[in-house]
Amino acid sequence: MSASPLSPAPKRWPPVIWALLIGTFAVRAAGFVYPYLPYRLDELHQDTAAVSTVLALWGAGWFAGQLLCGWLADRIGRRATLASAMAVAAAGFPLLAEARTPMALGMAAALSGLVYDAPRPILTAVVADTVADESGRARITGWRHFAVNLGAAVTGLVGGALAEPVGIPVLFWCNALVCAVFAVVVLRVLPPSAPERVLGHRGHREAFTDPLLWLLWLASLLTLVPVAALFSVLPMMMAQDGLPPTAYGWTQVASAAAVIGLSPLLTPWLARRAKRPAPMVGLLGMSGIILGAGMGSAGLASSVAGYSAAAALSVPGEIVAFVAATDILNRITPPTSRGVYAGIWGTTLATAVLCAPALGGWALAHGGHHLVALTLLTTGLLGAALCLPLAALLHRLSRASA
């Protein structure tokens, strides 16, 4: 079936979208700083309290960075914000590589976390600015998720192969170099955007009191906790089962393989679904159930095959969750506040990364693997349940404006 002018095929995406997708893949493929930071802290013989503090400061920076980058994208423009964030990353990651004391490590971690995921809200805003139809936006979101996951797989493979022979600080410097190159690319390919100043301030204030946005935020957070559990709770359970770190690596391979295999199938289907007038609230709810059940099944596993299967089974829910949530976000966002809305929603992943290990650790301490399974299933179901009032409010507002 040929694409209509209002439903562009990937080959007809504007060059700026291709550049940002490729740049997103590159910075995530070279994104050694976040996954290898705990190993760097271990090399420096930091105690448990120092490690926890540094990682918490990273998480706080990640959360604040989503809000700041989204707000700046509306205030000073998309190009200036993204280029500046990548320049800060190019300067901050080497500081993290060379820091030695807990205070220096903490400051560098907070700065690095601030800009590590900066492209997320800005790319969301640029796509909404550039692509008019919801089907095209959903297609790009699906392939962006593919690029991020493929990049993460490359990070694991390359980092695992090079960490010992070249050293983790060198990997951090490589991460900084790629960010510096991306900053230059952004300045060359992304046109300057004039911020919308007439309604922007009022729109930003209204974003923090928009019930649609906050229902979406909470539903997304609960849905994404099982996604974050893949990187935090899963290794804890596998370690308790006596499985080596290489076994956890196989779960990442299984997850990445599922993303690579399913994205080309699910993304066109989701793009067709986005052509409907109603946003994808039902699909977001379905993704919460899939993710809760998929990652929850890891609590019943005890072998590499079982844990890998749980990781792979969760992938369809993960793909659908990101596309569906972005579809809803695009439809409820005022054009003058796309950056700040995307930034607020972008904090869901950072918050999930903080909540998942806390919930998982509590469940392991009080009920073992079976309580972990129940906890992850419950978070997914709660995320799905919150889609009911979200759908009702969307429907009521739609009828009121008709």
Query: How confident is the model at residue 195, as a pLDDT?
Result: 57
Encoded tokens for 333: 């966002």
Query: How confident is the model at residue 1, as a pLDDT?
Result: 36
Site of tokens 């199938």:
265
Task: At 196, give phi and psi (nearest 5°).
Answer: -85, 105
User: How much is the pTM?
Assistant: 0.87
Q: What is the DSSP string of 250-298?
A: HHHHHHHHHHHHHHHHHHHHHHHHTTSSS-SHHHHHHHHHHHHHHHHGG
Query: How confident is the model at residue 196, as a pLDDT?
Result: 53
What is the 3-class SS of 148-177, one letter each residue? HHHHHHHHHHHHHHHHHHHCHHHHHHHHHH
Query: How confident is the model at residue 194, as a pLDDT?
Result: 58
Structure confidence by residue, pLDDT tens digits, 294-314: 999 999 998 999 999 999 999
CA 87 to chain centre: 21
What is the C-alpha separation between 88 and 83, in angstroms, rounded?
A: 9
Is there a contact between 247 and 304 (Cβ–Cβ < 8 Å)?
yes
Task: List C-alpha distances in Å: 139 to 126, 276, 317.
Answer: 14, 14, 16
Structure confidence by residue, pLDDT tens digits, 232-245: 888 888 888 888 87
Segments of the chain with pLDDT less than 70 = 1-11, 193-204, 399-402
Q: Which residues of 45-63 are buried (b: 16+ CB within 10 A; e: fewer)?
A: ebeeebbebbbebbbbbbb
3-state secondary structure of 230: helix
Is there a contact between 7 and 133 (Cβ–Cβ < 8 Å)?
yes
Is there a contact between 36 and 91 (Cβ–Cβ < 8 Å)?
no
Query: How confident is the model at residue 3, as a pLDDT?
Result: 40
